[in-house]
Structure 1
C-alpha cells in the first residue's frame, strides 16, 4: 500500500515557523492534502509533539515523533523516534545543550508551545536557532540510545547540510537514509546506495507537501521498521 508522507514540518515553536503553524492547523492541512504519515520537527526541541501526536491519532494520521537538531558543526539533522517519551527526553537534552542566549521574538520570531486546543501554554526562552554543544557523532549516538535514528537533513543545500559543511557523510555514522531538497540538484555519487526522504521543510501551511511522496508498506505501523527505528 502507498502511504503518503511529509516528515519535516515546523510548528510555531520554531522561531522561523509561521504563527498559523499550530498543532490543529498542521494536522488538518495534512489531512486535507491526503497525507498519511507526518512528523513535526522543530528546531532543537520536541515540546509541541504531544498535541500533534494526539490530534494525529484522532485524524487517522500517523505522527512520527521528530526534532531537527543543529549540531556543533552547524549541520542540520533530523532525529526520529519510535515513541513520544523518548523524543521528549531526547529533546530536553538537546535544549539544555543550547547556549544561554535568550530569544528576541521581534528579531527571530516567537517560540510558542500549544495544547491540543491550539491554546498557547507557554514559550521557550533560549533561541532555538542556535547550534547545540554536541557534535554530529554525539547527536547520532544519543538518538540511537533513545530508540531513534538520525537522518542528515537537506543534504544538497549549501548551508547547514552535512555535504555543505563537511563535504562528505562520515562512514562511522552508518547512515543509510538521507533527506534531499527537491529544488536543488545533487551529484548522484553522494546518494549511491542510500535511501532518500523528500520532505517539505514547511514553515507555513501552504508549504506542507501534497500527496506525492510515499512509502510502500504493508501496514502504516511498519514505518518504524522501514526507517530502522
Structure 2
C-alpha cells in the first residue's frame, strides 16, 4: 500500500508547540491534507498520544505511538512503538532520566494535557525540553527490547542531530532509517554520503498546524497498521556503500 505520512508532529504538550496543536486540530489538519499515517512525537513524553489515537479513529487516520527524546549527547531521536503500553513504559524510563527542573511557562510555554474534546485537563510541571541522562545506546537498547523503532531526527540540521553532534551514525546501533528536515535533493553531498544505505523519512517536525506535511511523501507498507510501519522502519532496503 502506498500511504502518505508525517511521523514527527508536536502537540501543545511540547512547550515549543503552539497551543492550537490540540488533538482534534492535529487530526483534522492531517485529514484535510490527505495524510494516512501520523505520529505525535512530543519532547520526552507520550501523554497526549492515546487521546490523539482515539480522535484519529473517527477520520481513519493511523496514529503511531511516538516520542522525541533528547539524549545525553543532546541528540534528538524519534522512537516509535507498537502499542501505548510499550510507549508508556518507555516514557516512564525517560521521565526518570530528566532533571528535576520545573518548566518556566513564561519563558518556554505551557505543557498542556488535553482530552478528546480539546479541553485542557492538566499540565506537566517538569521541563520536557531538557536532555535525559541516557546515552543513545541505552535508549536504543530499550527501544529494541520493546520491539519498537529508533530513527535519528533531522540528521541534516546543525544542532541536536546525530551527524552534527557525533559526526557519524554508530554501526552498533543497527539503525535502518533516518529523518531529514530538508528536501532530499537539496541535501549537501556530505550529508548524502553519510546517509548512503539508510531509509529516509521526510517529516515536518510541525509545531504549528500549517506546517504538517502535505501529501507528497509516501511509504510502501504491506498493510495500514502499526506493525507494518515498525517493520518498515527496521528493515534494510539498500546496501550501505
| 1:156-201 CA distance string (max 9 Å, x none) | 1000000000000011001110001115624221111110000000
Asked if 1:185 is matched to 2:176, the reply is no
Kindly tell me the number of residue pairs found equivalent between the two proteins: 229
| 1:126-173 CA distance string (max 9 Å, x none) | 111100010010011111122211110000100000000000001100
Q: Is there any run of 5+ residues in structure 2 with no aligned partner, and where?
A: 236-241
Does the residue aligned with 1:98 lie in a helix, a strand or coil?
Answer: coil
Greater Cα offset, 209-218 or 156-165: 209-218
TM-score (norm 1): 0.97
Does the residue aligned with 2:58 lie in a helix, a strand or coil?
Answer: helix
Name 1:203's counterpart in structure 2: 207
Conserved in 1, the CA contact under 8 Å of 2:16 and 2:207? Answer: yes
TM-score (norm 2): 0.92
Shift of 1:219: 2.0
* Runs of 4+, deviation exceeding 3 Å: none
Distance in structure 1 (CA, Å) of the matches to 2:209 and 2:201: 20
Greater Cα offset, 31-40 or 178-187: 178-187
Asked if 1:150 is matched to 2:150, the reply is yes
Equivalent residue runs for 1:68-107 within 5 Å = 68-107=68-107
What do you get for the CA RMSD once the two structures are aligned? 1.2
Name 2:234's counterpart in structure 1: 228
Distance in structure 1 (CA, Å) of the matches to 2:222 and 2:67: 26
